[in-house]
Amino acid sequence: MRFGLMIIGDEILNGSRTDAHFQAIRAMLDARGLRLAWVEYVADEPTEIVARLQRSFAQDVPVFVTGGIGATPDDHTRQAAASALGVPLLEHPVAAKFIEELSVKRGDDLNGAIHLQRLQMAHFPQGAEIIPNPFNNVAGFSIQRHYFVPGFPVMAHPMLEWVLETYYKHEFFKQRHAHLSAHLYGLQESQIAPFMIAIERDFAGVKTYSLPKIVQAQEGEASARRYHIELGVKATGDACVLLEEAWQVLKQKVLEIGGEIV
């Protein structure tokens, strides 16, 4: 099973913060036999968030959405989700109760401006369900297989693990994924492309890939750089049984025209 990932926040796009979600969420999925289908980075721009969400709501892929669900002027995700679905924002009673408990714990007046501002974080699109937040009990929300969590990794990642364990445990390791690869020296991509095409034609469901690399040589070596290719094959589900044979055929073809496989 595959998931989309939408990472919202100007701070990622302008470089003031390094994205801490992609690698962690990919590993979270890999550990359960799940995969990422796509990743998008979106600015804190309401119209853009609405447009991206409208598109993803129309797809048949569950989506993780991080960032922008707070209660400051640069947080637009809750309203954007409601707008994308054409529904109002409503106060969720359970999420509101959690925030009330937090305000009481911090000694804030429940009729005061601080609590009322904080309470905005309990306003979700109509029909949404909560996602528990073990860090501070300020919930995220889910609607139409979209799972909205804060931008802070310390909050977001445990919340998304809860989503996976709660809603998708039956999908864990349901479909096998496999790949084989090696480093290829001495050939260009244009030389191996016909072999890759033939593999995908002759082995149904097997996909090939090539990733060119240029490695800086060590001091004293004759060549300043050494070009090589990471060459591989990958498959999902029943096609995995064909992977080893496809790989051997591909390797033999590149060796026959002078390639070096390491």
**Tens digit of each residue's pLDDT (9 = 90 or more) over 216-243:** 666 655 555 678 999 999 998 899 999 9
- Choose one of 171, 191, 220: the last residue of a domain: 171
Same structural domain for residues 160 and 207? no
Q: Are residues 150 and 120 in the same domain?
A: yes
* 4, HSE (Cβ side, Cα atoms, 13 Å): 20
Number of domains in the chain: 2
Of 171, 203, 226, the position where a domain reaches its end is 171
Same domain as 152, residue 23: yes
Sheet holding 146-149, edge to edge: 35-42, 2-8, 63-66, 146-149, 140-143, 129-131
Residue 253 scores a pLDDT above 60:
yes
Could you tell me if 246 and 189 lie in one domain? Answer: yes
Whether 155 and 257 share a structural domain: no
Are 187 and 254 spatial neighbours (Cβ–Cβ below 8 Å)?
A: yes
CATH number for 50: 3.40.980.10
Choose one of 171, 190, 210: the last residue of a domain: 171
Q: What is the pTM of this model?
A: 0.82
Alpha-carbon gap, residue 80 to 48, rounded angstroms: 9
Cα–Cα distance measured from residue 192 to residue 230, given in angstroms and rounded to the nearest whole number: 12
pLDDT reported for residue 176:
86
* In a shared domain, residues 214 and 100: no
The domain containing residue 214 runs over which residues? 177-261
Here the CATH number for the domain that contains residue 218 is: 3.30.70
Mark whether 14 and 134 lie in a shared domain. yes
| pLDDT for residue 219 | 61
- Write the CB contacts of 153 (distance below 8 Å, at least 6 apart in sequence): 20, 21, 24
Q: Which amino acid is at 99?
A: I
- Looking at the structure, tell me whether residues 6 and 134 fall in a common domain: yes
